[in-house]
Amino acid sequence: MESMLQFNQITRTLPGNPARPLFSGLSGEARLSDTISFTGPSGTGKSTLLRILALLESPDEGRLILNGRPAREWDARQWRMKLSYVSQQPFMLSGTVEDNLRAASALHRTPFDRELASRLMASLGMAETDWRKNAQRLSGGEKQRVSLVRTLLLRPEMLLLDEITASLDDTSTEAVERLLRSFHEAEGTGFIWITHDLEQAGRVAGRSWVLAEGRITEGEYACP
């Protein structure tokens, strides 16, 4: 049976204003092998929902179910090994590039695959990066790509991607899209990818979620 994520009647209110929901009663489901673009106007709560799906934030109401088991029955670390979140604002730990590449493996107690790490870095145009370099001295785009590689090294079943190419140039964006397509083809890794680039959404995804007016629909989002 395929791995399945479901969320039922998810409600989240605005911080400091419990009377006003950011969204209310959101429900949906996805196979973890699905490739889903997630679009909609700014401020509708896409990033918040993605963080809820990653168990990084809690809903005010509703429940999450993975493979038939409610989120409360899961160890959060095990959940995040299956559903791995990559932020729009990458966070680099203190230390070197290699320290950062090893971080997720150390946290989740999985072996560090240096060969795979090297291959992924090369695929994103970072073959010449000195792994001994202080990660804080990387450019924003380099940090974003290292963050993605760090997550892929866990071989998650699904990636939760929050506008991960928004700060990248066209060449790096194409490299990220190409890598995620190949990872999906080789390992079945799916994703839910927040993007405001509708052309990108059409290129990368097999399904489309649109969050607007407090509800999720499957379809196309027309830019206002």
DSSP characters over 43-67:
TSSHHHHHHHHTTSS--SEEEEEET
What tokens does 144 get? 């974003």
Q: pTM of the entire structure?
A: 0.93
| Residue 14: strand, helix, or coil | strand
* Average pLDDT of the residues in 22-42: 95
Over 70: is that where the pLDDT of 224 sits? Answer: no
Question: What percentage of the chain reaches a pLDDT higher than 90?
Answer: 85
CATH architecture of the domain 4-218 equals: 3-Layer(aba) Sandwich (3.40)
SS3 state at 27: strand
What the block records as the tokens of 223 is 């830019």
The arithmetic mean of pLDDT across residues 49-56, rounded, is 97
- Residue pLDDT, tens place only, 101-151: 999 888 888 889 999 999 999 999 999 999 999 999 999 999 999 999 999
Reference 53, options 34, 148, 145; nearest CA is: 34
* 146: helix, strand or coil: helix
Query: Tens digits of per-residue pLDDT, 121-133?
Result: 999 999 999 999 9
Model confidence pLDDT, tens digit, residues 85-102: 999 999 999 999 999 999
